[in-house]
């Protein structure tokens, strides 16, 4: 019984870590997309 409890705790910990990494990666990706959109808009305005 103790072993399954440890496995559940480990799973929860891994899920938390994965969520942190995934959300960080997603926010970075969105930031990059927004920057590229802004730079395209700037070049369109300057033309």
Tens of pLDDT, residue by residue, the chain (47 residues):
667 779 999 999 999 999 999 999 999 999 999 999 988 888 877 76
Rama region for 11: left / alpha / beta (φ>0; ψ in -120 to 50; rest): alpha
Please give the sequence-ordered ranges of beta strands (E in DSSP) within the chain, or none if there are none. Answer: none
The per-residue pLDDT for 42 is 81
Residue 5 lies in a domain: yes
Residue 31 lies in a domain: no
Number of domains composing the chain: 1
Residue 16 lies in a domain: yes
Residue 7 lies in a domain: yes
* Residue linked to tokens 């990666």: 25
Separation between Cα atoms, residue 25 and residue 22, nearest integer Å: 5
The per-residue pLDDT for 40 is 84
pTM summary value: 0.56
The per-residue pLDDT for 43 is 80
Residue range of the domain that includes 22: 1-26
């Amino acid at each position: 019984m103790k072993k399954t409890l440890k496995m559940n705790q480990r799973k929860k910990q891994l899920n938390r870590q994965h969520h942190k990494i995934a959300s960080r990666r997603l926010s970075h990706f969105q930031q990059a997309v927004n920057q590229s959109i802004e730079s395209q808009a700037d070049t369109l305005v300057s033309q």
